[in-house]
Amino acid sequence: MQYGPAAQPQYGSLQLPHGAIDLPVFMPDATLGVVRSTDATDLRNCQLQALVMNTFHLMQRPGTSTIQSLGGLHTMSGWQGPIVTDSGGFQAYSLIQQNAKFGSLNADGITFKPEGSDRKFQLTPEKAVQLQMSYGADIIMCLDYCTHVDADAALQAEAVTRTIDWARRCKKEYERLLKQKKLAEEKRPLLFGVVQGGGSEELRRRCAEALLEIGFDGFGYGGWPLDKHGNLLTDIITYTRNLIPAHYQMHALGVGHPGSIAELTRLGYGIFDCAMPTRDARHARLYSFTSASTSFASGERWFTYIYVNDDKYIKNNRPVSEFCDCLCCTHYSTGYLHHLFKINDTLFFRLATIHNLRFMTMLTQRIRDGYYGQIG
């Protein structure tokens, strides 16, 4: 089934306590306060604008008291730009729903005990907001109940009911903390609600309408964004975007494939995050544009993968991409990267990660610069 046109892309910038971000924006996952193999200077040099960190994991390691002792996430990590904190709904889905021995979800929130740990953790909607605000986040995500699109109808309905209830509790706690902290408007972190509902139009609409009534600064597309074959769920993602007025920004949670970003930007999404580009880098799959300028016309191959572990690159003295200005491409050959990978040197992970992240920022820049108008 095909739906009508989605909301048109809303470019411009989003003003946050630690600076403005130009849209569309891709954010790498710095789950535990670090983008693996890089430091904050590397990330700035890649022209990244913001990072995503995860409350579910950070409350375990290094722990909230340690984060506060180290001055909050910005001071601890050395990253002074905006930080978005994911509440942990997706992690609960992937950890608990796949193996019940690790914890449970109920009306009050999430209780879990990580493998190898003797300590139980509890994450309620109120605590999720408290932690994210104490960490100094610029965008706070409401705790939500994530599901896979193939989950049965009863579970999808339960997830929507709990997501709405948790969102209402998050908003109440958020407003209480704002009043308590007496934050000026420019210092106020934004609060995003997350639209759940699986592949059901009815549930997506019910969730979106309830969240709009509660009132949030922006919204996330919740739930696993791919079908069982790994294809982007374009129809329901489009439908969900159309449920939210175009002046609200929407975060396509967990979406980071270059082709998916190009497609969903056209559909009206402006914020993206994913671990895939950095994970691909560490496994020697690097991204490259096929030309100096990008046409996103349907069916055109505008980027390609470079598998630098392939022996055909042993003596290749060219950079990974002639269209890239990153540290990796301006200083080192593909053959040298192949060598670093084969000897398992940590420099490979750093250079490869820098390259893929610079590709992602160049992608969103090309979209902002107007190439997007060429989409067919």
CA 257, distance to chain mean position in Å, is: 11
Tokens of 255: 């979406």
Taking the C-alpha atoms of residue 219 and residue 248, their distance in angstroms, rounded to an integer, is 7
Tokens of 106: 């109920």
144 is catalytic: no
Taking the C-alpha atoms of residue 214 and residue 210, their distance in angstroms, rounded to an integer, is 6
Taking the C-alpha atoms of residue 168 and residue 135, their distance in angstroms, rounded to an integer, is 21
Taking the C-alpha atoms of residue 41 and residue 139, their distance in angstroms, rounded to an integer, is 22
Non-local (6+) Cβ contacts of 152 within 8 A are none
Q: Which helix (H) or strand (E) holds 192?
A: strand 190-195
325 is catalytic: no
DSSP assignments along 24-78, one per residue: SEEEEB-TTSS-TT--HHHHHHTT---EEEEHHHHIIIIIHHHHHHTTHHHHHH-
Report the candidate in 85, 108, 113 with the shortest Cα–Cα distance to residue 18.
85
Catalytic member of 29, 42, 86, 280: 86
Taking the C-alpha atoms of residue 77 and residue 168, their distance in angstroms, rounded to an integer, is 31
Catalytic member of 29, 42, 138, 273: 273
237: left (phi over 0), alpha (psi -120 to 50) or beta: alpha
What proportions of the chain, in percent to the nearest 5, are helix, strand and coil? 45, 20, 40
Taking the C-alpha atoms of residue 149 and residue 175, their distance in angstroms, rounded to an integer, is 32
**So which residues are the catalytic ones?**
86, 273
